[in-house]
Homo-oligomer: A and B are copies of this chain.
Amino acid sequence: MKKILIPIDGSEHAQKAALWVKNFFKDFKNVSVTFLHVSDLPKELMPHSYMMESIIEPTLIEEIINEKKEQAFKSVAGVFEDTEIKTEYVNKVGNPAEVIAQVAATENFDLVVIGSRGLGEIKGILLGSVSDRVAHICKRPVLIVK
């Protein structure tokens, strides 16, 4: 079984990555897909933060995390419906690139397929995109879908 990790964030870039995997691997046997959403709340809002209680209700944080997660999962739900590819959904909290790299390595994924934000976006030019950072720090093979 070849294990493919697809990080998702609710964007069309992530959806594009999922559709590419479907199109490329639909006729192959023994491929499984794990969708990974990473909740990247500001540090102060992270659960277990020392500052948490002073700023915001824990239940509200949980609501925000859940809402974003559901939106991300929904954006790719059904992509592999008409294939034999098995899918599972995972949610984590933390820095997206670091969590993606960590999950890919510790759970020994064969491949990470991530959507590129492209160079057109100002944020991408100034800060580097998540896909760039994953490509650099991830110890497993990373496929960047345009």
Task: Give A residues with C-beta under 8 Å from B.
Answer: 2, 20, 24, 27-30, 110-111, 116, 119, 132, 135-136, 138-146
- With A111-B143, A136-B119, A142-B144 as given contacts, are A2 and B24 in contact (CB-CB < 8 Å)? yes
Q: How many copies does the complex hold?
A: 2
Q: Which residue of B lies closest to A17 (CB)?
A: B141
With both chains docked as a complex, state the minimum distance between the C-beta of A114 and any C-beta of chain B, in angstroms: 10
Task: Report whether A24 and B145 are in contact in the complex, using a CB–CB cutoff of 8 Å.
Answer: no
CB distance from A72 to the nearest CB of B (A): 21
Least distance between A9 CB and chain B CB atoms (Å): 18
- By the criterion CB–CB under 8 Å, are B143 and A142 in contact? yes
Query: How far does the Cβ of A137 sit from chain B's closest Cβ, in whole Å?
Result: 9
CA distance A140 to B24 in the complex (A): 13
Picked from B27, B110, B139, the residue with its CB within 8 Å of the CB of A24 is: B110
